[in-house]
């Protein structure tokens, strides 16, 4: 097990009606809030009304940034920073899924940065101070409610990049699974694929001796596999929604990666798809994952795939190693298909002529991953296989 420093400071209020914790916790940081949300589904669901009622009753003044995009854009971040500065906001409350939260995180860091906000996406070291952030989660997917990272898109430059700072982790997050009852089936599927991808990114690692972390990762994968389909076919199933929601947070808050060498690769490849074509992140991940697995499978990595097949999919451990590995990948592919997720890049509108440019862009900061390091040619091969 590798050395690590563990610190997860986000408080979580989990369960039905936990919104009753909102006012007292906001007031720890002040009385002026920037409320950030997306396309307005929180108005339809009534959540917006509940929040603003609480604010009004508790003399919390609020300002709004709405319309944050599914792949949140630096232009929205800049708008948010302006509103915060004009009104000397004390805390940013993100209400939504990962896009809204990520946008809020970079607003919070950009508030204290004098230059162009895109700078702190390009170079996280430029982040010196961050406004407090809190979240009310409405989609189980990115885990941004309990981690310190954010991914922002710059459509002008076709760049989608991650940034992060420990102070960007939310101070508190309200996780009420009933707020995800209204998430449509296709978004539930994409969210579940995103959670699974976060787990894969740290599970497939060269640090074999982190036995406990590996078994926990399998525990979380099994949870996604069990409940993804249930949540799609029975959207108000609380057991499914609550398990998926809590799994989304633990999948990426550090619990599975502390003590391991983990350098992500599929996310790096996917970010280019979203940056160039604005596709749903989880869908891109689900399309690429089985192809990445086949590409990463070799004599050095086969044992890890055997572990995955036996422990997660219950495959027969006495079979030939490569047979188990290929079957495990097949199970993965079939699982994503059973969630109704497209299985080729072509289906989601990606054009063959862009593959090479995207592959170059994906590796512009260097090779992707460490389990099976990928250069531009490797990424292109995987894109082509997934096309």
Residues that bind its own copies (CB under 8 A): 1-9, 11-18, 21, 177, 209-212, 215-216, 218-220, 222-223, 226-227, 238-239, 242-243, 246-247, 250, 255, 258-259
237 φ/ψ angles, rounded to the nearest 5 degrees? -75, 105
Q: To the nearest whole angstrom, how small is the minimum distance from the Cβ of residue 111 to its own copies?
A: 25
Q: To the nearest whole angstrom, how small is the minimum distance from the Cβ of residue 21 to its own copies?
A: 8
CB 213 within 8 A of CB 6: no
CB 230 within 8 A of CB 253: no
Q: To the nearest whole angstrom, how small is the minimum distance from the Cβ of residue 186 to its own copies?
A: 23
Q: To the nearest whole angstrom, how small is the minimum distance from the Cβ of residue 60 to its own copies?
A: 21
Question: Toward its own copies, which CB reaches closer, 80 or 259?
Answer: 259
- What stretch of H or E contains 161? strand 159-164
Question: Toward its own copies, which CB reaches closer, 8 or 122?
Answer: 8
Cα–Cα distance, 134 to 12 (Å, whole number): 10
Question: Toward its own copies, which CB reaches closer, 24 or 86?
Answer: 24
Cα–Cα distance, 16 to 239 (Å, whole number): 12
Q: To the nearest whole angstrom, how small is the minimum distance from the Cβ of residue 174 to its own copies?
A: 10
Cα–Cα distance, 274 to 71 (Å, whole number): 7
Q: Provide the β-strand partners of residue 164.
A: 149
Question: Toward its own copies, which CB reaches closer, 243 or 274?
Answer: 243
Cα–Cα distance, 145 to 21 (Å, whole number): 16
- The vertex-34 CA angle with 98 and 115, nearest 5°, equals 80
DSSP code string of 19-36 = GGGHHHHHTTT-SEEEEE
Two tokens at 145? Answer: 């409610």
Closest alpha carbon to 101 in 19, 12, 35:
35
Question: Toward its own copies, which CB reaches closer, 9 or 338?
Answer: 9
Q: To the nearest whole angstrom, how small is the minimum distance from the Cβ of residue 212 to its own copies?
A: 4
Q: To the nearest whole angstrom, how small is the minimum distance from the Cβ of residue 259 to its own copies?
A: 7
CB 269 within 8 A of CB 382: yes
Question: Toward its own copies, which CB reaches closer, 83 or 216?
Answer: 216
Question: Toward its own copies, which CB reaches closer, 8 or 385?
Answer: 8
């Amino acid at each position: 097990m590798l050395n690590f420093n563990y610190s997860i400071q986000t408080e979580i209020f989990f369960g039905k009606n936990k919104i009753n914790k909102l006012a007292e916790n906001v007031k720890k940081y002040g009385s002026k809030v920037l409320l950030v949300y997306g396309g307005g589904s929180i108005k339809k669901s009534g959540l917006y009304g509940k929040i603003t009622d609480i604010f009004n009753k508790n003399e919390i003044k609020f300002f709004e940034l709405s319309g944050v995009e599914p792949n949140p854009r630096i232009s929205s971040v800049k708008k948010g920073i302006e509103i915060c500065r004009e009104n000397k906001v004390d805390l940013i409350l993100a209400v939504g899924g990962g896009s809204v939260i990520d946008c809020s995180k970079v607003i919070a860091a950009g508030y204290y940065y004098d230059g162009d906000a895109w700078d702190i996406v390009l170079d996280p070291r430029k982040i010196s101070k961050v406004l407090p952030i809190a979240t009310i989660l409405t989609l189980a997917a990115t885990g941004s409610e309990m981690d310190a990272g954010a991914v922002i898109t710059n459509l002008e430059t076709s760049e989608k990049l991650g940034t992060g700072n420990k102070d960007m982790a939310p101070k508190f997050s309200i996780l009420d699974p009933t707020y995800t009852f209204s998430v449509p089936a296709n978004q539930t599927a994409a969210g579940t694929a995103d959670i699974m991808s976060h787990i894969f990114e740290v599970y497939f690692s060269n640090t074999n001796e982190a036995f406990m972390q590996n078994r926990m990762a399998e525990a979380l994968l099994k949870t996604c596999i069990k409940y993804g389909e249930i949540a799609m076919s029975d959207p108000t199933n609380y057991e499914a929604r609550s398990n998926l929601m809590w799994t989304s947070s633990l999948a990426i808050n550090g619990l599975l990666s502390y003590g391991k060498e983990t350098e992500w690769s599929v996310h790096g490849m996917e970010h280019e798809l979203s940056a160039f074509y604005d596709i749903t992140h989880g869908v891109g991940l689900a399309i690429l994952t089985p192809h990445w697995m086949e590409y990463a499978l070799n004599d050095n990595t086969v044992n890890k795939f055997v572990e995955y097949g036996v422990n997660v999919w219950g495959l027969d451990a006495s079979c030939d190693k490569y047979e188990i590995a290929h079957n495990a990948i097949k199970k993965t592919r079939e699982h994503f298909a059973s969630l109704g997720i497209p299985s080729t890049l072509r289906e989601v509108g990606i054009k063959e002529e862009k593959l090479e440019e995207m592959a170059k862009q994906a590796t512009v900061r260097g090779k992707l991953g460490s389990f099976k390091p990928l250069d531009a040619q490797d990424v292109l091969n995987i894109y082509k296989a997934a096309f």
